[in-house]
Amino acid sequence: MAATERTLVLLKPDAVARGLTGRLVQRFEDAGLKIVGLKMKHMDADFTRKHYFDLEERFGKGVYDATATYMQQGPVIALLLEGVDAVANVRRMIGTTFPAQAAPGTIRGDFAHMSKTYAEGTGKAIANLVHASGSVDEAKYEAQLWFADEEQFDYQTLAERYVF
Q: Is 113 a catalytic residue?
A: no
Residue 138 is predicted with a pLDDT of: 97
156 in a domain, yes or no?
no
- DSSP string of 48-71? HHHHTTTHHHHH-HHHHHHHHHHH
- What is the model's pTM? 0.94
161 belongs to a structural domain? no
* 105 falls within a domain: yes
What confidence category does residue 161 fall into, taking pLDDT thresholds of 50, 70 and 90? confident
Q: Which domain covers residue 50, as residue numbers?
A: 4-151
* 157 belongs to a structural domain: no
Tell me the CATH number at 142.
Answer: 3.30.70.141
Phi-psi region of 13 (alpha: psi -120 to 50; beta: other; left: phi over 0): alpha
Per-residue pLDDT tens for 79-106?
Answer: 999 999 999 999 999 999 999 999 999 9
In the set 42, 51, 113, 131, the catalytic residue is 131
Contact 116, 98 (CB under 8 A): yes
Burial 55-90 (b: 16+ CB within 10 A, else e): bbeeeeeebbebbbebbbeebbbbbbbbbeebbebb
What is the pLDDT at residue 1?
A: 53
Q: What is the pLDDT of residues 98-132, one digit of tens each?
A: 999 999 999 999 999 888 899 889 888 889 999 99
User: Mean pLDDT throughout 62-67?
Assistant: 93
Count of domains observed in the chain: 1
User: Is residue 163 included in any domain, yes or no?
Assistant: no
Q: Is residue 25 part of a domain?
A: yes
